[in-house]
Amino acid sequence: MKLAVAFLLAAVAFGQTKPANKVTKTAVWDAAADRRLEQAIRARFAASKIAVNGFEVRVQGGVATIEGRTDVVQHKGTATRLAKAMGAVRVVNRIEVSQAAREKAAASLAKGRRRAQVKRSEPRSARDEKR
């Protein structure tokens, strides 16, 4: 017990609370790796429904930057997920969602909220009233 306390005090005294040889998940990225990742992301975008948006992709140091505009709110999140799935370390998503798409999503959300706020004691449909 005294030995364990001594090690703990020594580690705190020297400012080392974690092992010095900890392996990190960082990868060495060079220009060729960035180009391959960029091409892979573009190919994946082209093979999906978000191809109609024509998003621009740039990769530097394993970080993918996506720019463009869309009329579908979900395409913004899909672009991020696809880029990460292709191997991007991080994604900077600068996709702008149109005002019409935001309004449509807000209306759908409000409609869904009203439905979810029905009390459990009240019947939800005509079928439930028969029970």
Q: What is the mean pLDDT of residues 21-37?
A: 69
User: Both tokens of residue 117?
Assistant: 């706020």
Among residues 89, 67, 63, which one has the least CA distance to residue 79? Answer: 67
Q: What is the mean pLDDT of residues 87-99?
A: 96
pLDDT confidence band for 123 (50 / 70 / 90): low
Q: Write down the pTM of the prediction.
A: 0.63
Domains and CATH numbers, the chain: 26-102 (3.30.1340.30)
CA distance 69 to 63: 20
Q: What is the mean pLDDT of residues 73-85?
A: 95
Q: For residue 69, what pLDDT is reported? A: 96
Relative to beta strand 56-60, strand 90-97 is unpaired
Task: Work out whether the CA dihedral 6, 7, 12, 14 comes out positive or negative.
Answer: positive
